[in-house]
């Protein structure tokens, strides 16, 4: 049995790469071969770079340099740990359909029309209906744009099996298709702590606290600085993209394993990231999760559901919260069993066709 996975495996994003790795590892444990299906997007002409003031030009040069360095680190992890297909052109998708027994769309926000990386490929329109499955796919919002609903309803109606990551996704699919979708855990939660420990590096010598942000949050930054100062610890900071310095060390060019190691060994983690929270829980680290604001606030549902699943009392976001790993794993055991059972059904179905 061979499964083709369509997700954001090529994104230079820690959460995207980690969930991709975890899904492929879980399928491997279930005895299934899988590849991430790489489909070339249509190339767009790059616009001419506008003239900039000298200070802006220097900053733009720093951004570009940091981006190249960051991409190289993510590419290294993908080359070492992910099994991906040779690239398909959009004209080759009939051949792609013939190359796999089933397709799995997900996880991550592959069905979020508000982000640049999403497009029709993640609804598997090129695949035979009997081959289409999703796993913990996310719409990244409570609803879809009105103009997208008719097309999405048609595509989703042809899936053999539907699994979403958030309860809001169940509601969207019910309204669009009249079908029931199963809520499954983010793939990162399907692996045990011992699985993730295989990737982490040597523990840093000096104790520290960690600040990891998807989007700059001054309140979160100040809280992290204050707690680290009170504890007499160094504050290390990693961002999801290049940002100006905050008055202390901050990097975006951190390798995937280094990022995982930083979370696994931190005395406390301050974050507004879903996956930053996931790995704080998995490694039993004290953590403080701030909700995203502005347009990104629509993504907070996944964090709220995760904290509820972990047993974090509502309103306890003002303090560092220590969730012991064994307790957390016990709390998610039923959801984990249900999620893996769904994937077993996909694998077993594929073996019969």
Annotated domain spans of the chain: 2-45+80-185+335-352, 193-331
pLDDT at residue 115, as a whole number: 82
Please state, in angstroms and rounded to a whole number, the distance separating the CA atoms of residues 339 and 182: 9
| In CATH, 193-331 is 3.40.50 | yes
Please state, in angstroms and rounded to a whole number, the distance separating the CA atoms of residues 243 and 227: 22
Closest CA to 4 of 248, 346, 314, 311: 346
pLDDT at residue 234, as a whole number: 92
Please state, in angstroms and rounded to a whole number, the distance separating the CA atoms of residues 287 and 316: 11
Please state, in angstroms and rounded to a whole number, the distance separating the CA atoms of residues 81 and 319: 36
Q: What is this structure's pTM?
A: 0.90
What would be the CATH architecture of the domain defined by 2-45+80-185+335-352? 3-Layer(aba) Sandwich (3.40)
Q: Mean pLDDT in each 10-residue stretch from start to end of the chain (353 residues)?
A: 95 95 98 93 52 55 68 95 93 88 95 83 94 96 88 95 96 96 98 96 93 88 91 88 54 85 95 94 92 77 88 62 70 96 94 81
pLDDT at residue 326, as a whole number: 62
pLDDT at residue 51, as a whole number: 53
Distances in whole angstroms, Cα of residue 56 to Cα of each of 9, 60, 252, 348: 32, 6, 19, 56
Largest CA distance in the chain: 64
């Amino acid at each position: 049995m061979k499964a083709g996975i369509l997700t954001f495996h090529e994104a230079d994003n820690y959460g995207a790469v980690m969930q991709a790795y975890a899904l492929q590892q879980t399928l491997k444990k279930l005895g299934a071969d899988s590849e991430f299906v790489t489909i070339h997007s249509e190339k767009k002409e790059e616009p001419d770079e506008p003239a900039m003031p000298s200070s802006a030009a220097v900053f733009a040069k720093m951004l570009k340099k940091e981006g190249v360095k960051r991409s190289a680190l993510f590419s290294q992890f993908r080359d070492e740990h992910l099994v991906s297909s040779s690239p398909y052109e959009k004209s080759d998708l009939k051949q792609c359909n013939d190359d796999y027994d089933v397709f799995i769309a997900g996880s991550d926000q592959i069905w979020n029309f508000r982000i640049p990386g999403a497009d029709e490929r993640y609804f598997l329109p090129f695949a035979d209906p009997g081959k289409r499955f999703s796993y913990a796919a996310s719409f990244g919002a409570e609803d879809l744009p009105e103009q997208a609903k008719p097309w999405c309803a048609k595509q989703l109606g042809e899936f053999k099996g539907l699994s979403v990551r958030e309860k809001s996704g169940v509601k969207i699919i019910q309204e669009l298709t009249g079908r029931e979708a199963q809520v499954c855990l983010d793939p990162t939660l399907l692996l045990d702590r011992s699985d993730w420990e295989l990737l982490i590096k040597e523990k840093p010598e000096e104790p520290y606290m960690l600040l990891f942000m998807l989007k700059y949050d001054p309140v979160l930054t100040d809280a992290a600085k204050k707690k680290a100062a009170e504890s007499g610890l160094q504050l290390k900071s990693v961002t999801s993209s290049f940002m100006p310095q905050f008055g202390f060390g901050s990097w975006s060019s951190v390798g995937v394993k280094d990022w995982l190691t930083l979370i696994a060994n931190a005395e406390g983690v301050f974050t507004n990231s879903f996956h930053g929270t996931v790995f704080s829980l998995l490694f039993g680290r004290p953590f403080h999760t701030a909700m995203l604001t502005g347009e990104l606030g629509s993504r907070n549902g996944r964090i709220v559901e995760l904290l509820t699943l972990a047993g974090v009392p509502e309103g306890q976001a003002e303090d560092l919260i220590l969730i012991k790993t064994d307790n957390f794993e016990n709390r998610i055991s039923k959801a984990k069993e249900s999620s893996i059972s769904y994937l077993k059904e996909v694998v077993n179905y594929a073996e019969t066709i």
